[in-house]
Structure 1
Amino acid sequence: MALEQLEVGDVLITWLNGGVTHMDGGAMFGVVPRPLWEKKYPANENNQIELRTDPMLLQVDGKNLLVETGIGTGKFTDKQKRNFGIEHESKLKENLSELGLAPEDIDMLLMTHMHFDHACGISKWKGDDLVSAFPNAVIYVNETEWEELKEPNIRSKATYYKENWQPVEGQVKTYNEAVEPIDGIHLVHTGGHSDGHSILLIDRQGEKAIHMADLMPTHAHRNPLWVLAYDDYPMNSIDAKLKYIAPAIKEEAWFLFYHDYKYRALKWDSENEIEEAVLRNRASE
């Protein structure tokens, strides 16, 4: 089955299968009561919601950029798979092959943050050793995020793994407030979900897209007040959503998703109704 794609200006975006998790719905919607959030996002009998971990391949100016890396393969114990609701792991290599590419063809990794569900696909097993999964890529990570990844605190050590930085340390380029690795493609630091969390902005040939990452992991998180219990700095998350969401809607930007079970991308109108959407094709998995 064909992979879902979207063109934003001259940027071709393709969603790849990075695996899936099922996390606690209450944690994913924080203080929002379940009777409200489950109208917008379904939960299973264990109160878990489906969260894709599907990277976006951006092809532009002859370069291959990967946004996030999925959960990888062979990175979790059976206990972790049960706890995180992992039903299947990454198929990135197979998806890239469908597109005539290999992991060695990825020129850049754009990491919004380094939590395990975004970064476990950054390395792979080669025998008994972990090595870079994308050995030719420059990896862009916010400086604050990178430093906490290497020295996590008592809270963040549950999601920042040494396996996700030690094999790739020599490939990493850090930045402070923002970086523009390709003209019109920016990573911008916001904080909130983590201290070093960033979002992705695309502005090419008069068309725009925004990937809010885990400030808005699903379409159901559009309300600025609907933030995650996982957020380290929730007021910063709210401030960033207030800053970026309304202007993006006004500019008719596409909102891109990594975690959403239903939508790959969508546009909201001024009344917060969905006016265009790229739906996830479940049959392709």
Structure 2
Amino acid sequence: MEVFKLGAITLTWLNGGVTHMDGGAMFGVVPKPLWTKKYPVNENNQIELRTDPIFLQVNDKNILIESGIGNGKLTEKQKRNFGVTEESKISESLAELGLTPEDIDIICMTHLHFDHACGLTKPDINGFASVFPNAVIYTSEVEWNEMRNPNIRSQNTYWKENWAPIKDQVVTFKDELEIEGAITMIHTGGHSEGHSIIVIESAGERLVHMGDLMPTHAHQNVLWLLAYDDYPMDSIRAKQTWIPSMMKEENWFTFYHDGHYRALKWDEEGKILDSVKRNREKN
């Protein structure tokens, strides 16, 4: 597990599983000769996308950002369609830290698409149950409403088995929410109407977790959007607001999906100043 220190806070990437999605869909209208210079692609035009939650502790609270792809929930057809070659091993990752899923106090969800929210629940004798029964799960009010009432486009990614077992654990917010004095969730829209980003600050250091507005380091360009984005102009506006200013201040970016980098710091011109690379030998 990769570890990164931000001020007094230690971030650890857990093993949440992996998908392989169509590269064209992940880079939208960007021509393939351009995006393949930034991110590797396989012979099936798929790119590797991790689904690895970030674990951190603040004020003695055990916190997760995102929840992984889950385990034992996807059909063989779904695994094939989503290129899932490894399911979540969150319990095993937590065990290495001396913890169990029952020890998680807070979960921050940028949004609730299946590849982020499947890890919240698990199959059990009665259907599905919460994986983290003692956690408060934070997401935006807009996202939670659409999760339970998806439209014709979003119904393929908002699944009842991902929300029904945890409905009593969910706490929503409208615009911004501060958590434990160090984490701020900010509703941006874009990728989904309820999408949020997460800013973490400690001892004068700062990072932003852009969620699926910047799922990989190759999506740094404000115009490089996913074909999956429901509101692309909102994605662009949010990226314009956050990415150039964070780069200018030489703050950190962290990733949930990137198969190659866990965290990056760019300068104003886009030059990499520092990074935490994923250990590809272990995963």
| TM bin (shorter chain) | over 0.9
Hey, what does 1:172 align to over in structure 2? 170
Amino acid at match of 1:187: M
Structure 1: distance between partners of 2:103 and 2:138: 16
The answer (yes or no) to whether the contact 1:23–1:51 under 8 Å persists in 2 is yes
Cα deviation for residue 128 of structure 1 reads 4.3
| Alpha-carbon distance, 1:126 to partner | 2.2
SS in 1 for 2:281: helix
Identity %: 62
Q: Quick one: distance in 2 between partners of 1:283 and 1:35?
A: 28
Question: SS of 1:173's equivalent?
Answer: strand
Matched residue, 1:101: 99
The answer to whether the Cα contact below 8 Å between 1:178 and 1:186 also exists between their aligned partners in 2 is: yes
Residues 1:48 and 2:61 aligned together: no
The structure 1 segments of at least 4 consecutive aligned residues displaced by more than 6 Å after TM superposition are none
Aligned residue in 2 for 1:32: 30
Name the residue aligned to 1:125.
123
Match of 2:205 in 1: 207
Q: Choose the corresponding residue for 2:228, options 222, 227, 230.
A: 230
Are the counterparts in 2 of residues 10 and 60 from structure 1 also a CA contact under 8 Å?
no
Tell me the residue number matched to 1:85: 83
Local SS of the residue matching 2:24:
helix
1:215 maps to a residue whose letter is L
Which of 153, 158, 161 is 2:159 aligned to? 161
Q: Distance in 2 between matches of 1:113 and 1:124?
A: 18
For 1:233-248, list aligned pairs within 5 A: 233-248=231-246
1:168, 1:128 → 2: CA distance? 14
Cα-to-partner distance string for 1:64-92 (whole Å, 9 max, x where unaligned): 11000001101111011100000010010
Local SS of the residue matching 1:144: helix
What TM-score, normalized by structure 2, do the two folds share?
A: 0.99
Query: d(CA) in 2 for partners of 1:92 and 1:269?
Result: 33
1:20 aligns with 2:48: no
SS at structure 2 position matched to 1:282: coil
Which residue number in structure 1 is paired with residue 249 of structure 2?
A: 251
Query: Aligned-residue CA RMSD in angstroms?
Result: 0.8
Are 2:214 and 1:216 equivalent residues in the alignment? Answer: yes
Counterpart amino acid of residue 99 in structure 1: L
The answer as to whether partners of 2:250 and 2:268 remain within 8 angstroms in 1 is: no
Do the aligned partners of 1:208 and 1:252 also contact (CA within 8 Å) in 2? no
Query: What is the Cα deviation at residue 129 of structure 1?
Result: 2.3
The aligned residue for residue 142 of structure 2 is 144
Show CA shifts across 1:68-120 (max 9, x none). 00011011110111000000100100000000000011000000000000000
Residue ranges of structure 2 left out of the alignment (5+ in a row): none
- How far apart, CA to CA, are the structure 2 residues paired with 1:274 and 1:17? 25
* Structure 2 Cα separation of the partners of residues 218 and 173 of structure 1: 28
- Structure 1 residue 195 and structure 2 residue 190: aligned? no
Unaligned stretches of 5+ residues in structure 1: none
Supply the distance in 2 between the matched residues of 1:98 and 1:42 (Cα, whole angstroms).
30
